[in-house]
Chains A and B, each alone.
Chain A
Amino acid sequence: MNQADLTFVDGLIERIGQNPDAVIPILQAIQEHYRYLPREVLERVCEISEITPARIEGVATFYTQFRHRPAGEHTIRVCVGTACHVQGAGAVHDGFCRHLDIPPDDDTDAAGVFTVEKVACLGCCSLAPVVQIGDVTYGHLSGDTAADAVRDFLNLQSRRVHRKARPVEPGAEVGEIRISLDTCCIARGCGAVYEALCEAVARSGARASVKRVGCTGMSYITPLVEVVLPGLPPSLYAGVKPEDAEAIVLRHFRPGGIMRKIKTSASHILENILTDDAWEPVTRYSTDVREAIISEFTGPQKRIATEQAGSADPADLDEYISGGGFEALRKCTDELSPEQVIDEITRSGLRGRGGAGFVTGLKWLHVRQAHGEKKYIICNGDEGDPGAFMDRLLLESQPYRIIEGVVIAAYAVGADEGIFYIRAEYPLAIKRMTDAIEQCRQRNLLGPKLRLRIVPGAGAFVCGEETALIASIEGRRGMPRPRPPYPAQSGLNGKPTLVNNTETFSMVPWIIRNGAGAFSDTGTDLSKGTKVFALAGRVVRGGLVEVPMGITIHEIVEQIGGGIIDSKAFKAVQIGGPSGGCIPASLADTPIDYESLVGVGAFMGSGGLVVLDETDCMVDIARYFLAFTQDQSCGKCTFCRIGTRQMLDILNRICSGEGRGDDLERLEHLAGAVGKSSLCGLGKSAPNPVISTLRYFRDEYEAHLAGVCPAGVCKDLIKYVITDDCIGCTLCAQHCPADAIEMKPHEKHEIDVEKCIRCGTCMRVCPADAIKVE
């Protein structure tokens, strides 16, 4: 090892610490530096710290974040989350590997420029299939456009210049231009629009401030810009491009300063253009259009957890406070005893939003009553469901709100140390929370003894499970342990620990401010209040929605989601992600509450809600989720480690047309055994997607056994054929990545079934709709 490496490692240990519980942050720092974990560096860490070789190797090979081979210069993250999966993420991944010539057992191209990784939901499901290259996000990709994305990225790299917008003078503004700036919005170009708006304001001298706000939940039309002028109804522009910025600014604000004259005449011209129907971009997205969509989109929703999302600058503590922030906390500490706070939460009927729906007040009471001086509080922001991103948006768009919830809970249960466990895949959430905690600390909002810190997860779904999460914070492999004892009795470092989900905490300040009654007025008998869902899949409008408990699936799909894309037939919704199940369209009247969902074989889960239509194969969906849980099993207990693998083998067999007669019985038996006797919730719930699809879509399984995939999804069971509608344009032949179509201008083309890799590219490019699946 050379001197530079030595200095780096030694400095690292000095900075992060040398106790075993520092192992994950140390590994993360090493990986950030080297882009993988070099063996000598790990050995050096063991030499100079309390971390043993067994510990470091065990941890480094447990979490998916860690690499053991050098990575390429740029990482291509192909989202294989639920929404992206159903829209063909597999083909996109294959497309990148093909374009970069990466062999199946590798992930990095020969030149070491790109590493291709599969990741769970990137949180921009409405752009599915989504891919992140470096810090640039590309949406709506397909196998054949992978190459374009790579080219575009390289292009961008070569001419990347940093534009810094001039800040607007303070005090001068009369109006506000709001733009949502979350990861998914940034992906859609909101960053560039933000800069363009700042520039336009600065140039024109308009008396306006440009403001970042959290997500509005309408990710299907971002970049979304809202212009707010005192006394006027706000105007909303959707799908804004940087070049529209100037026109928007000049439309609402009179330019000031020296430029005024010139600009006024310019704006005259612009006004003309604006009313000119030929100039589409702005008229197309003007206020009137919004009314139609948004009232429906927001209509049946009710905002509690996401109350401030979209109207406040997430980083602005003053704005949070002036909007009623920390009032709830003040009320608690000034007027209520801890017991009274717990009582209020209990009376509200709030149940945990992390999945199982345990009564929150009761959990708080258990921690309050547990013996011990030292108590911890943990905010679970691991959000592992591959189709969900609401915790991320909560953390990104209202960090103070979550902090307030945690501080109230800490007061109630008597904890003096709080930890936000946030997945490392959410860098923006981590940054905003870090900043927000610091702000609160400086303003003394955390009280005299409460310490808050952030622990980033390292990529393991099972670490959402509370005992595994605690193991991970302690710097161990994220393996769950049996409960009891529950964390409320013996959690982090063996001390009583309150673990709640991010959304749960987000509900707390609202309940305290508005009273338990106001909360329990919404919802059903046993499920009170609202639930945030990440609505995605085959709906016209996807995004984040917060709905009252008790709303039916039908209402969510039709009224909020705007129905199915292309008027296809609605088939099912998948609720609860890998732990949940599929509810068929025939049961769309099922109300969304904990008990009803369990009754129909699904599970509230953390809030992934993916809508499926006739083009989705239910066996493939079941296999998708099982492949996910199987991959994420920690490997500790027999049933989950081997049982899910056996189940997956069977499903793979069925999907490739090699199913055997007794496979369904075998699958059912295994599903029962794994569900009953696995150690933790991951294994216990892993069979749910299989059980529920077997229950409602058994005919599809049987069709596969007979060699047919009714939806035409399972690659080994379908073939693409060109019909007589072929006009001989040769487009398919030009695009086919496998050279399976011979170019025959003006003649009917044919697909060589042997060569065809079933990527579906030809079907997408065919202008005559002449290719179909058989």
Chain B
Amino acid sequence: MPHLMIDNRKVEVADGETILDAAKKLRIEIPTMCFLEGVRANASCMLCVVKVEGLAGLVPACATLARDGMKVQTDTDEIRTARTDALELLLSDHLGDCVATCQSACPAGLNIPLVLRQIAAGQTGDADGASEIPCDDCPAPCERACRRKQFDSPVSIRALMQYAAAAGLVVQPSGPDNRRRFSVHIGRLQEGEIEQFLAGTNRGGRIEPSDDGLTEDQARDEARRCMHCDCRKADACKLRYYAELYGAKARRYKGERRSFVQNREHPDVIYEPGKCIACGLCVRIAEDAREELGLTFIGRGFDVRVTVPFDRSIAEGLKTTALQCAAACPTGALSQR
């Protein structure tokens, strides 16, 4: 039974437990992204690095076995800098917009794509609870920012928001500071990329509202024109959360922008490989659940990617574990539809 010191406090752990386990016993929080309780540790993101006296450099707490007599520090300047570095490096190769362009343009920061998804799905709210929205007097910068105009014309956002408010759907800004973005921005869509976004949308032209606003059918059709260029994990993304916590600068390191890919083959989840941080959680979850095909890393080094073997579709790869993987994925790479 090893005894060790973490941040100058004594703790005893069972054989085979890690520094992270030991820290948990002391309620010392160490940030993690590629680690998930119950799944074999992979030690890839390096966010959980800590300093062990006597060992050169820093080591990942999630996968380093606790040994008797270890002296561990979990929160020094050196460690914080390393974590920020790790986050900034990950962000330099993390493609996608956390927040849709319409939402970042909205002075009230309303979560437009979420509302449009609800309308498109035919959800209705409590008509009595119609919410107050600031759209009536707004010049609608959201529509000017809307990406759909690169294909034909912007979505009638303001009318849809008014429709939603009247229909009692909850129209709210998301998150505390919902417009900060941590990623390589998609920016203007590159050749071929618009096709990725258009997949599954209503290809018809913009429906202009009449004076009475949109009818239910019109609203649904128009909402289906939204390309959902936002990130579905914006509020649950660990990368974004920690980037904010550690004050990481998304554009500290610049790299070549890859092309944006959105894979919608699966009925339950959407896969956006540009956001993957290669943590391997989904690969291990699928493997442990004995998915017939599952997922695998292909390639090596900077070009390593997560795919389904033999170029099969995600739907074939993740027959039983798709939602579990989407929930485990620390970023918006795999997200629930």
A741 and B106 alpha carbons, distance in the complex (Å): 61
Q: Out of A53, A643, A679, name the residue touching B43 (CB < 8 Å).
A: A679
Known contacts: A482-B60, A484-B64. The answer to whether A39 contacts B310 by CB under 8 A is: yes
Please determine whether B304 and A641 come into contact, CB atoms closer than 8 angstroms.
Answer: yes
Known contacts: A54-B295, A677-B46. The answer to whether A641 contacts B59 by CB under 8 A is: no
A343 and B313 alpha carbons, distance in the complex (Å): 59
The answer to the question of B186 belonging to the interface, with a C-beta cut-off of 8 Å to chain A, is no
| Shortest distance between the CB of A439 and any CB in chain B (Å) | 37
What residue of chain A has the Cβ atom nearest to residue B290's Cβ?
A: A52
A56 and B90 alpha carbons, distance in the complex (Å): 28
A202 and B310 alpha carbons, distance in the complex (Å): 58
Known contacts: A482-B64, A677-B46. The answer to whether A634 contacts B301 by CB under 8 A is: yes
- Which residues of the other chain, B, contact A42 by a CB distance below 8 angstroms? 310
What residue of chain B has the Cβ atom nearest to residue A642's Cβ?
A: B89
Please determine whether A632 and B301 come into contact, CB atoms closer than 8 angstroms.
Answer: yes
The answer to the question of B45 belonging to the interface, with a C-beta cut-off of 8 Å to chain A, is yes
Please determine whether B63 and A482 come into contact, CB atoms closer than 8 angstroms.
Answer: yes
Q: 1/0 contact trace for A212-231 toward B, CB 8 Å?
A: 00000000000000000000
- Which residues of the other chain, A, contact B86 by a CB distance below 8 angstroms? 638-639, 677
Q: Out of A481, A635, A676, name the residue touching B301 (CB < 8 Å).
A: A635
Known contacts: A58-B296, A477-B297. The answer to whether A649 contacts B302 by CB under 8 A is: no
- Which residues of the other chain, A, contact B292 by a CB distance below 8 angstroms? 53
Please determine whether B92 and A58 come into contact, CB atoms closer than 8 angstroms.
Answer: no
Within 8 A of B (CB), among A315-372: none
Please determine whether B255 and A481 come into contact, CB atoms closer than 8 angstroms.
Answer: no
Please determine whether A481 and B92 come into contact, CB atoms closer than 8 angstroms.
Answer: no
What residue of chain B has the Cβ atom nearest to residue A55's Cβ?
A: B296
The answer to the question of B125 belonging to the interface, with a C-beta cut-off of 8 Å to chain A, is no
Chain B: residues with Cβ within 8 Å of the partner, total of 49
Please determine whether B303 and A679 come into contact, CB atoms closer than 8 angstroms.
Answer: no
- Which residues of the other chain, B, contact A477 by a CB distance below 8 angstroms? 297, 300
Please determine whether B294 and A460 come into contact, CB atoms closer than 8 angstroms.
Answer: no
Q: 1/0 contact trace for B71-85 toward A, CB 8 Å?
A: 000000010011001
Please determine whether A53 and B310 come into contact, CB atoms closer than 8 angstroms.
Answer: yes
Please determine whether A684 and B57 come into contact, CB atoms closer than 8 angstroms.
Answer: yes
Within 8 A of A (CB), among B239-292: 253, 255, 277-278, 280, 283, 286-287, 292
The answer to the question of A630 belonging to the interface, with a C-beta cut-off of 8 Å to chain B, is yes
Q: 1/0 contact trace for A667-692 toward B, CB 8 Å?
A: 00000010111110000100000000
The answer to the question of A62 belonging to the interface, with a C-beta cut-off of 8 Å to chain B, is yes
- Which residues of the other chain, A, contact B49 by a CB distance below 8 angstroms? 677
The answer to the question of B222 belonging to the interface, with a C-beta cut-off of 8 Å to chain A, is no
What residue of chain A has the Cβ atom nearest to residue B286's Cβ?
A: A54
Within 8 A of B (CB), among A420-475: 460
- Which residues of the other chain, A, contact B309 by a CB distance below 8 angstroms? 52-54, 56-58
Please determine whether A485 and B65 come into contact, CB atoms closer than 8 angstroms.
Answer: yes
- Which residues of the other chain, B, contact A485 by a CB distance below 8 angstroms? 65
The listed residue with most B CB atoms (<10 A of its CB), out of A39, A43, A62, A646, is A646
- Which residues of the other chain, B, contact A54 by a CB distance below 8 angstroms? 283, 286-287, 293-296, 309
The answer to the question of A636 belonging to the interface, with a C-beta cut-off of 8 Å to chain B, is yes
A231 and B127 alpha carbons, distance in the complex (Å): 113
The answer to the question of B42 belonging to the interface, with a C-beta cut-off of 8 Å to chain A, is yes
Q: 1/0 contact trace for A587-618 toward B, CB 8 Å?
A: 00000000000000000000000000000000
The answer to the question of B58 belonging to the interface, with a C-beta cut-off of 8 Å to chain A, is yes
The answer to the question of B93 belonging to the interface, with a C-beta cut-off of 8 Å to chain A, is yes
Q: Out of A56, A631, A642, A679, name the residue touching B93 (CB < 8 Å).
A: A642
Please determine whether B255 and A645 come into contact, CB atoms closer than 8 angstroms.
Answer: yes
- Which residues of the other chain, A, contact B46 by a CB distance below 8 angstroms? 637-639, 677-679
Q: Out of B56, B81, B296, name the residue touching A57 (CB < 8 Å).
A: B296
A649 and B256 alpha carbons, distance in the complex (Å): 10
The answer to the question of B299 belonging to the interface, with a C-beta cut-off of 8 Å to chain A, is yes
Known contacts: A53-B309, A481-B63. The answer to whether A638 contacts B89 by CB under 8 A is: yes
Please determine whether B82 and A633 come into contact, CB atoms closer than 8 angstroms.
Answer: no
Known contacts: A58-B297, A635-B297, A639-B89. The answer to whether A676 contacts B57 by CB under 8 A is: yes
The answer to the question of B44 belonging to the interface, with a C-beta cut-off of 8 Å to chain A, is yes
Q: 1/0 contact trace for B44-69 toward A, CB 8 Å?
A: 11110100000011111001110100
The answer to the question of A61 belonging to the interface, with a C-beta cut-off of 8 Å to chain B, is yes
- Which residues of the other chain, A, contact B304 by a CB distance below 8 angstroms? 635, 641
- Which residues of the other chain, B, contact A53 by a CB distance below 8 angstroms? 292-294, 296, 309-310
What residue of chain B has the Cβ atom nearest to residue A666's Cβ?
A: B253
- Which residues of the other chain, A, contact B60 by a CB distance below 8 angstroms? 482, 637, 679
What residue of chain A has the Cβ atom nearest to residue B253's Cβ?
A: A646
Within 8 A of A (CB), among B281-337: 283, 286-287, 292-304, 307, 309-310
| Shortest distance between the CB of A418 and any CB in chain B (Å) | 26
What residue of chain B has the Cβ atom nearest to residue A629's Cβ?
A: B301
| Shortest distance between the CB of A454 and any CB in chain B (Å) | 24
| Shortest distance between the CB of A472 and any CB in chain B (Å) | 13
A460 and B67 alpha carbons, distance in the complex (Å): 31
A484 and B54 alpha carbons, distance in the complex (Å): 13
- Which residues of the other chain, A, contact B81 by a CB distance below 8 angstroms? 673
A283 and B309 alpha carbons, distance in the complex (Å): 64
- Which residues of the other chain, B, contact A56 by a CB distance below 8 angstroms? 309
Q: Out of B65, B89, B280, B310, name the residue touching A43 (CB < 8 Å).
A: B310
| Shortest distance between the CB of B196 and any CB in chain A (Å) | 23
| Shortest distance between the CB of B2 and any CB in chain A (Å) | 11
Please determine whether B294 and A635 come into contact, CB atoms closer than 8 angstroms.
Answer: no
Q: 1/0 contact trace for A252-264 toward B, CB 8 Å?
A: 0000000000000
What residue of chain B has the Cβ atom nearest to residue A56's Cβ?
A: B309
Please determine whether B43 and A482 come into contact, CB atoms closer than 8 angstroms.
Answer: yes
What residue of chain A has the Cβ atom nearest to residue B85's Cβ?
A: A673
Please determine whether A52 and B294 come into contact, CB atoms closer than 8 angstroms.
Answer: yes
A58 and B287 alpha carbons, distance in the complex (Å): 12
Please determine whether B300 and A460 come into contact, CB atoms closer than 8 angstroms.
Answer: yes
A249 and B280 alpha carbons, distance in the complex (Å): 65
Please determine whether A675 and B57 come into contact, CB atoms closer than 8 angstroms.
Answer: yes
Known contacts: A54-B293, A638-B44. The answer to whether A61 contacts B298 by CB under 8 A is: yes
Please determine whether A636 and B42 come into contact, CB atoms closer than 8 angstroms.
Answer: yes
Known contacts: A482-B43, A482-B59, A485-B65. The answer to whether A641 contacts B296 by CB under 8 A is: no
What residue of chain B has the Cβ atom nearest to residue A631's Cβ?
A: B301
A635 and B43 alpha carbons, distance in the complex (Å): 12
- Which residues of the other chain, A, contact B302 by a CB distance below 8 angstroms? 630, 633, 635, 641-642, 644-645
- Which residues of the other chain, B, contact A675 by a CB distance below 8 angstroms? 57
| Shortest distance between the CB of A216 and any CB in chain B (Å) | 38
- Which residues of the other chain, B, contact A633 by a CB distance below 8 angstroms? 300-302
Please determine whether A646 and B255 come into contact, CB atoms closer than 8 angstroms.
Answer: yes
What residue of chain A has the Cβ atom nearest to residue B89's Cβ?
A: A642
Known contacts: A482-B59, A637-B46. The answer to whether A57 contacts B89 by CB under 8 A is: no
A634 and B304 alpha carbons, distance in the complex (Å): 8
| Shortest distance between the CB of B52 and any CB in chain A (Å) | 10
- Which residues of the other chain, A, contact B92 by a CB distance below 8 angstroms? 642, 646
What residue of chain B has the Cβ atom nearest to residue A645's Cβ?
A: B302
A635 and B296 alpha carbons, distance in the complex (Å): 13
| Shortest distance between the CB of B39 and any CB in chain A (Å) | 15
What residue of chain B has the Cβ atom nearest to residue A477's Cβ?
A: B297
| Shortest distance between the CB of B248 and any CB in chain A (Å) | 12
A678 and B89 alpha carbons, distance in the complex (Å): 12
What residue of chain A has the Cβ atom nearest to residue B51's Cβ?
A: A676
Question: Could you list 12 examples of A-B contacts with CB < 8 Å?
Answer: A52-B287, A56-B309, A57-B309, A58-B298, A62-B297, A637-B44, A638-B45, A639-B89, A677-B49, A677-B86, A678-B46, A679-B44
Other CB < 8 Å A-B pairs besides A635-B304, A645-B301, A678-B57, 9 of them? A53-B293, A53-B296, A53-B309, A477-B297, A633-B300, A636-B43, A646-B255, A676-B82, A677-B86
Nearest 10 Cβ contacts at the A-B interface = A635-B304, A53-B309, A54-B296, A57-B309, A633-B301, A61-B298, A642-B89, A58-B296, A673-B85, A635-B301
